[in-house]
Structure 1
Amino acid sequence: MSDRPLTLVLVSTPVGQLGSGRGGGVELTLASLVQGLVQRGLHLHLVAPDGSCSPVQSAQVTLHTVPGVDQPSWQHAERDSPMRIPQDAVLPRLWTCALELASDADALINFGYDWLPMWLTPHVESRIFHLVSMGSVSAVMDGAVADLARWDQRRLAFHTRRQASDFDLVEPPEVVGNGFDLSRYELKLGTDGPLGWAGRVAPEKGLEDAAAVAARLGETLRVWGLVEDNAYARRIESAVPAGTIEWCGFKPTSELQRELGGCRALLNTPKWNEAYGNVVVEALACGVPVIAYDRGGPGEIIQNGETGWLVPPDDRDALEQATLRASSIDRQACRGWVERCASQEGLAARVEAWIRRGLTPVDGTIS
């Protein structure tokens, strides 16, 4: 295939409008990738729920929005739950729009973790690729990923090898990592700030462990992120001394990085297999060491003893001891790792290379 500029249709997550925070890390990934692909000269159609904002104002990006009811996230479903599409759902409308645009595009990239677009992939002429945003949380989705891998695994990419290992693949996985606009993150070298925690406030994120460690150390824990489960947040707050948690809310990147950069360490306490760990890299980009459970994507990202400390999953004692060693981490080394491994430009180059390889016919595949 020639190296002429590609035209791509990017289909956003159906769990919430872009800019709302409900899409979690997918929103940040999509924004970074759109900016990076525009810099590489690609032309993009961005399909998203009504109320969404384009992350880039450029003649190379056209935003298409559609109405509909948000799709329930698989993250909050029982493992054996069936596929559910609400009445007046936005999910099929996103794909009706995307497939109409596909006749003038080289390929479509799906950012939603959903069964419908994976099922569609072998059944339509348009070439659909999937940047898988989560690990294994659903039997239905595990089957969809495995079926697509058997049909043509080139259509799948993952953020980390640990994430990909959750699935039944037929070949080594395509791993593209993630990337960030590093001009938006300022390196801060101070080491005497509070402890921080960032992410959606929901049980799978394990905020209670970080709060417990902060309470043991007699420190304040600043918490950034959308509170998805208010009852869960109240339970955590009631379990630690008053004033331990400072709720900072969901913040745009400019505010988050400014406040997060003042922390002496970020605690990362996932109870599930995180696909990547965007907040880990955002902290590192500000020079903030990360103390994390050695689980999922963060366990692959953090360089133990260089950019933070990894401890056994769910071990609060080990988390506390590692937090006391945060000052031994060189904050410039944290930023250096991000510049080498998680830039916006690097992500865009890796994704474009993946798409171009997948568009090249190979003997023995339907492609």
Structure 2
Amino acid sequence: MLHRPLKLLLLSTSVGALGTGLGGGVELTLLNVAQELLRRGHTLKIVAPQGSVLGDIPIIEIAGELQTTAQTQGRSAPIVMPENSVLGNMWDYARQVQADYDLIFNIAYDWLPFYLTPFFNRAIAHFVSMGSLSTAMDRIVEQIAGQFPGTVGVYTLTQAETFPSPSQYRILGSGLDLSLYQFSPEPSSALAWVGRIAPEKGLEDAVAAAKITGIPLKILGKMQDDAYWKQICQDYPDAPVEYAGFFSTSELQQHLGNCRALLMTPRWVEAFGNVVIEALACGVPVISYSRGGPTEIIQDGKTGFLVEPDSVAGLVEAIGRIDQLDRYTCRQQAEAEYSLEALGDRMEEWFRDILQN
């Protein structure tokens, strides 16, 4: 869609090194966007915290103290940066090299990049990876969206609607390299739950549903809050659950594809839910609370079930109907709507529009 190759500088999240899982779905989005842009002939570099690895994509590693994740703080929390902040160091690097690039792409949910935007000479495309979590972030995001129209993108309309003026945001969705996900027509009896193990993900509801149904639950993801996990184990000592760990894409899809269904139990508004389309790509239907991004992905009664938020009884009832769903239909939806090609088209069109304004 763009008439010439671009030189792009991609700035990652500041809450953890790429490859550790601390960035959640942002890591997968960044990898997929970068790979597709490279495939299309653009050149790029990624700026990320020290120790980052993202396939064979070139990374500028920046030292410094990591930023605290926004979801662990309250709405009225002040903006805080640690001493020798990796976030500050990443954006100081970007300022120094900005003349070498056509466009800067920011995928971090951080206040500083938005504040700095008017002081840069290069256009900055901000991809907001979460819904509204903080009054201070809402204000700065809204300010930049108004001052630089069309430069702030989000995953879904549901996510955009958590901010004051949703029509200002570009809806970009997500996508996967579907060749990495094997369709699995014959699953085991187990269910899956995938994500960071942290309170906003509501894992205890999936564990409760597993205990009620007696169906094994395989838990996959980054152990972010050990005390939270220990409390779940204490509250449900007899639940048939197994924590398998955090896996790369190739290992994850093998575990996930072997499960009857994926449970999603978010307490907050998920901006998208990359794991939903990962499951669909494996042919795994998804049972999710009707909250946030999954409501725009799951075809209720066809590729999964949307149930009342925070209702364990709703999860249990939907688990009892899993065999009504066709796994091949799940894979077909992933192929039709969430390919890397479709994501690349949307990203290129967005960049073109920003550079032409």
Alignment of 1:218 with 2:209, yes or no, is no
- 1:323, 1:153 → 2: CA distance? 44
Name the counterpart of 2:89: 93
**Identity %, equivalent residues:** 46
Alignment of 1:232 with 2:228, yes or no, is yes
Deviations 1:1-35 (CA, angstroms, capped at 9, x unpaired): 97111111000101011111111111111011111
Name the counterpart of 1:316: 312
Letter in 1 for 2:301: G
- 1:30, 1:320 → 2: CA distance? 34
DSSP-derived class of the 1:296 partner: coil
Q: Any conservation in 2 of the 1:149–1:169 contact (CA below 8 Å)?
A: no
Q: CA deviation at 1:170?
A: 6.7
Q: CA deviation at 1:347?
A: 1.2
Q: CA deviation at 1:146?
A: 1.0
Q: CA deviation at 1:153?
A: 2.9
Letter in 2 for 1:222: K
Matches within 5 A, 1:1-367: 3-57=3-57, 62-169=58-165, 171=167, 173-242=169-238, 244-361=240-357
Q: CA deviation at 1:358?
A: 1.0
Unmatched 5+ stretches in structure 2:
none
- 1:192, 1:96 → 2: CA distance? 50
Q: Any conservation in 1 of the 2:177–2:339 contact (CA below 8 Å)?
A: yes
Name the counterpart of 1:365: none
- 2:23, 2:283 → 1: CA distance? 26
- 1:89, 1:286 → 2: CA distance? 39
Letter in 2 for 1:28: L
Deviations 1:210-240 (CA, angstroms, capped at 9, x unpaired): 0000000012110001111111111111222
Q: Any conservation in 1 of the 2:153–2:171 contact (CA below 8 Å)?
A: yes
- 2:204, 2:218 → 1: CA distance? 13
Q: Any conservation in 2 of the 1:50–1:66 contact (CA below 8 Å)?
A: yes
- 1:169, 1:360 → 2: CA distance? 23
Q: Any conservation in 1 of the 2:98–2:121 contact (CA below 8 Å)?
A: no
- 1:289, 1:37 → 2: CA distance? 30
- 2:320, 2:187 → 1: CA distance? 12
TM-score (norm 2): 0.97
- 1:13, 1:191 → 2: CA distance? 35
Query: Paired residues, what number?
Result: 357
Farther off after superposition, 129-138 or 240-249: 240-249
Q: Any conservation in 2 of the 1:34–1:55 contact (CA below 8 Å)?
A: no
Q: Any conservation in 1 of the 2:208–2:239 contact (CA below 8 Å)?
A: no
Pairwise CA RMSD? 1.4
DSSP-derived class of the 1:109 partner: strand
Q: Any conservation in 2 of the 1:46–1:63 contact (CA below 8 Å)?
A: yes
Deviations 1:323-361 (CA, angstroms, capped at 9, x unpaired): 111111111111111111111222122111101101112
Deviations 1:174-230 (CA, angstroms, capped at 9, x unpaired): 111011111110000114420110000000000000000000001211000111111
Q: Any conservation in 1 of the 2:157–2:166 contact (CA below 8 Å)?
A: no
Farther off after superposition, 243-252 or 78-87: 243-252
- 2:201, 2:193 → 1: CA distance? 10
Deviations 1:68-124 (CA, angstroms, capped at 9, x unpaired): 011111111111001010001100110111122210111100011000001111222
- 1:171, 1:291 → 2: CA distance? 29
Q: CA deviation at 1:172?
A: 5.0
Letter in 2 for 1:52: S
Farther off after superposition, 92-101 or 26-35: 92-101
- 1:330, 1:102 → 2: CA distance? 49
Q: CA deviation at 1:145?
A: 1.2
Farther off after superposition, 170-179 or 130-139: 170-179
Unmatched 5+ stretches in structure 1:
362-367
Q: CA deviation at 1:171?
A: 3.3
- 1:172, 1:231 → 2: CA distance? 39
DSSP-derived class of the 2:148 partner: helix
In structure 2, the CA distance between the partners of 1:359 and 1:350, relative to structure 1 (3 Å rule), is same
Farther off after superposition, 123-132 or 106-115: 123-132
Name the counterpart of 1:364: none
DSSP-derived class of the 1:96 partner: helix
